């Protein structure tokens, strides 16, 4: 069983992204092939087991994306809801609240949103893409700001199914999370705003990735780039030997000044850095909804300014630029 994407396709058909429909439905169908992921039947069953209730209460503009009230569920339904949602563990991006049930995720993704929201172009009536969106937390926040289409992509089916658990009750076809990676997108698109948050350092070719992001934007469209950085001048970068903060696939961490130069070399205009923040163990941590190791386990226990490998601890910058 594939989640209900046709209402989203109907909106795309009447948008500037209409040509995407030549390839998108088949890509989605392929991604949900049960032979590609052995846990997919379990996740689909969890979505099926969610209580069959409707609600008019939705909160997309608060720190915790929320839907429903506790009194709208019986005690049995509330237990069924929690049991089903826990089948989708781990929950990494959030927080959320469903019918009074708080989902305390690994990341306080609302903190990242608060750091960038006042600097980006207003999202009202814009077509927005969020690359590597996880379960779509920020997609809901973008919809709350009035985006006409809020499209997230993430190749992890577990996180896609977490999105569909929310969508079961929020029921907004203008918001979706697709089981795709950035390399699955057409070569040329026309989004008004593209968000790339926590992706650049996972790409083997950072310049190629920045050029690829530019092809996804309309002329004058806005890139919102959030990524790991280090301190230093325009010549400084870190290429980890092996792991960084226990992550295997971290390839390239530049200084802010180098990253600004890279964006200009790729043809972006009006490049500016709007935030620089150290990641703390309050922003990224283990919780009852994400019971694996988290940031505190990735830092040197004797000196939390360093990772366990001896590199500078995570520091993140938000940059904005125009195509």
State yes or no: cis peptide before 95, omega within 30 of 0. yes
pLDDT grade for 237, boundaries at 50, 70 and 90:
very high
CATH number of the domain that residue 85 is part of? 3.40.50.150
Which residue range(s) make up the domain with 222? Answer: 6-322
pLDDT grade for 24, boundaries at 50, 70 and 90:
very high
**Structurally, how many domains does the chain consist of?**
1
Residues 6+ apart with CB under 8 A from 69: 55, 57, 99, 100
Residue 1 is assigned to a structural domain of this protein: no
Residue 107 is assigned to a structural domain of this protein: yes
Please determine, for residue 187, whether its predicted confidence score (pLDDT) is greater than 90: no
User: Residue 3: what pLDDT?
Assistant: 93
Residue 151 is assigned to a structural domain of this protein: yes
User: Residue 49: what pLDDT?
Assistant: 97
Residue 89 is assigned to a structural domain of this protein: yes
Average pLDDT estimate for 69-82: 98
Tell which wins on pLDDT, 215 or 36. Answer: 215
**3-class secondary structure per residue, the chain:** CCCCCHHHHHHHHCCCCHHHHHCHHHHHHHHCCHHHCCCHHHHHHHHHHCCCCCCCCEECCCCCEEECCHHHCCHHHHHHHHHHHHCCCCCCCCCEEECCEEECCCECHHHHHHHHCCCCCCCCCCEEEEECCCCCHHHHHHHHCCCCEEEEECCCHHHHHHHHHHHHHHCCCCEEEECCCHHHCCCCCCEEEEEEECCHHHCCCHHHHHHHHHHCEEEEEEEEEEEEEECCCCCCEECCCCCECCECCCCCEEEHHHHHHHHHHCCCEEEEEEEEEECCCCCECCECCECCCCHHHHEECCEEEEECCCCECCEEEEEEEEC
Contact yes or no for 313/306 (Cβ under 8 A): yes
State yes or no: cis peptide before 90, omega within 30 of 0. yes
Please determine, for residue 213, whether its predicted confidence score (pLDDT) is greater than 80: yes
User: Residue 131: what pLDDT?
Assistant: 98
CA 134 to chain centre: 4
Average pLDDT estimate for 72-81: 98
> What does pLDDT average to over the chain?
97
Residue 164 is assigned to a structural domain of this protein: yes
Q: 253-291 pLDDT, tens per residue?
A: 999 999 999 999 999 999 999 999 999 999 999 999 999
pLDDT grade for 1, boundaries at 50, 70 and 90:
confident
Distances from the Cα of 220 to the Cαs of 3, 8, 117, 229, 231, in angstroms? 34, 25, 19, 26, 30
User: Residue 34: what pLDDT?
Assistant: 84
Distance CA 54, CA 67 (A): 10
Distance CA 103, CA 12 (A): 31
Distance CA 18, CA 214 (A): 19
**HSE-up (13 A, CA, CB side) for residue 37:** 17
Residue 110 is assigned to a structural domain of this protein: yes
Average pLDDT estimate for 295-322: 98
User: Residue 208: what pLDDT?
Assistant: 97
- Residue 16 CB-density burial (10 A; 0-12 exposed, 13-18 middle, 19+ buried): middle
Average pLDDT estimate for 113-140: 98
Residue 17 is assigned to a structural domain of this protein: yes
Residue 36 is assigned to a structural domain of this protein: yes
Please determine, for residue 175, whether its predicted confidence score (pLDDT) is greater than 90: yes
Average pLDDT estimate for 89-97: 98
Distance CA 96, CA 76 (A): 21
Please determine, for residue 2, whether its predicted confidence score (pLDDT) is greater than 90: no
Least confident of 34-38, 45-49, 166-170: 34-38
Contact yes or no for 184/132 (Cβ under 8 A): no
The model's pTM: 0.97
């Amino acid at each position: 069983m594939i989640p209900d994407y046709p209402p989203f396709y109907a909106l795309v058909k009447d948008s500037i992204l209409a040509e995407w429909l030549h390839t998108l439905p088949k890509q989605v169908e392929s991604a949900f092939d049960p032979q590609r992921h052995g846990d997919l039947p379990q996740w689909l069953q969890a979505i099926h087991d969610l209580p069959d209730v409707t609600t008019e209460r939705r909160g997309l503009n608060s720190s915790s994306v929320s839907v429903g009230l506790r009194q709208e569920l019986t005690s049995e339904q509330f237990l069924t809801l929690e049991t089903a949602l826990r089948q989708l563990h781990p929950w990494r991006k959030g927080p959320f609240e469903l019918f009074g049930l708080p989902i305390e995720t690994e990341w306080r993704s609302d903190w990242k949103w608060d750091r960038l929201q006042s600097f980006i172009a207003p999202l009202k009536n814009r077509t927005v893409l969020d690359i590597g969106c996880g379960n779509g937390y920020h997609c809901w926040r973008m919809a709350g700001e009035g985006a006409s289409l809020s499209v997230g992509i993430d190749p992890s089916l577990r996180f896609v199914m977490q999105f569909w658990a929310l969508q079961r009750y929020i029921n907004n076809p203008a918001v979706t999370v697709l089981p795709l990676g950035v390399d699955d997108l057409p070569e040329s698109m026309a989004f008004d705003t593209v968000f790339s948050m926590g992706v650049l350092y996972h790409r083997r070719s950072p310049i190629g990735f920045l050029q690829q992001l530019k092809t996804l934007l309309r002329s004058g469209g806005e890139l919102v780039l959030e990524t790991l950085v280090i301190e230093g001048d325009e010549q400084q970068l870190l290429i980890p030997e092996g792991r960084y903060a226990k992550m295997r696939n971290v390839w390239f961490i530049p200084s802010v000044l180098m990253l600004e130069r890279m964006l200009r070399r790729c043809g972006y205009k009006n490049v500016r850095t709007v935030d620089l923040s150290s990641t703390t163990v309050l922003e990224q941590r283990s919780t009852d909804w994400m019971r694996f190791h988290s940031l505190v386990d990735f830092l040197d226990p004797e000196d939390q300014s360093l990772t366990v490998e001896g590199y500078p601890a995570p520091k993140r910058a938000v940059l904005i630029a125009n195509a």
